Amino acid sequence: MIILLIIFLALFAASIKIVREYERVVQFRLGRLTGSKGPGIVLILPVINRLVKVDLRERYLEVPHQTAITKDNAPVDIDFLIYYKVVDASASIVQVQNFTGASVGLATTTLRAVVGDIPLDELLSKREQINSI
């Protein structure tokens, strides 16, 4: 009888998860997406459900040194930061395997495309405009 009570209490404790204000949890039931939940108390079925936490706060990544070619074929060395924020927790888990890596790749490709369309003189004079991209 005591063993059953201990098992019941352990399952009950495992079924309650607390999600912070800046987090969401993406819930999978038997491998199928059931949606995102939070903030607050989230009840789950411990054996059947799996939760993946997603941080919704703004974050930044420092991208390693990049070399790009301007429109007039001048090489330019670029260092930059990426500021990003997850808006859709479910999509960030289900649609992309590595959200951070995909963000870095997209930002690097976009910056190289922008730098490649601008001559060096114009690039140097429009630094503030390029910083806002």
Query: Are 96 and 47 in the same domain?
Result: no
- Look up the domain containing 123 and give its range: 59-131
Token pair, residue 82, equals: 């990426």
Helix (H) or strand (E) holding 14: helix 2-14
Residue 80, C-beta contacts closer than 8 angstroms, at least 6 positions apart: 63, 66, 107, 111
pTM for this model (two decimals): 0.74
36 and 82 both lie in a single domain: no
pLDDT band at 33 (very low <50, low <70, confident <90, very high): very high
Q: What is the pLDDT of residues 57-116, one digit of tens each?
A: 999 988 888 888 888 888 988 888 889 899 999 999 999 888 888 888 888 888 888 888
Same domain, 45 and 77: no
Q: How many structural domains are present in the chain?
A: 2
What's 110's domain CATH number?
3.30.479.30
Q: How far is CA 5 from CA 2, 11, 17, 43, 50, in A?
A: 5, 10, 20, 20, 24
Identify whether residues 49 and 109 lie together within a single domain.
no
Is the pLDDT confidence value at 29 over 90? Answer: yes
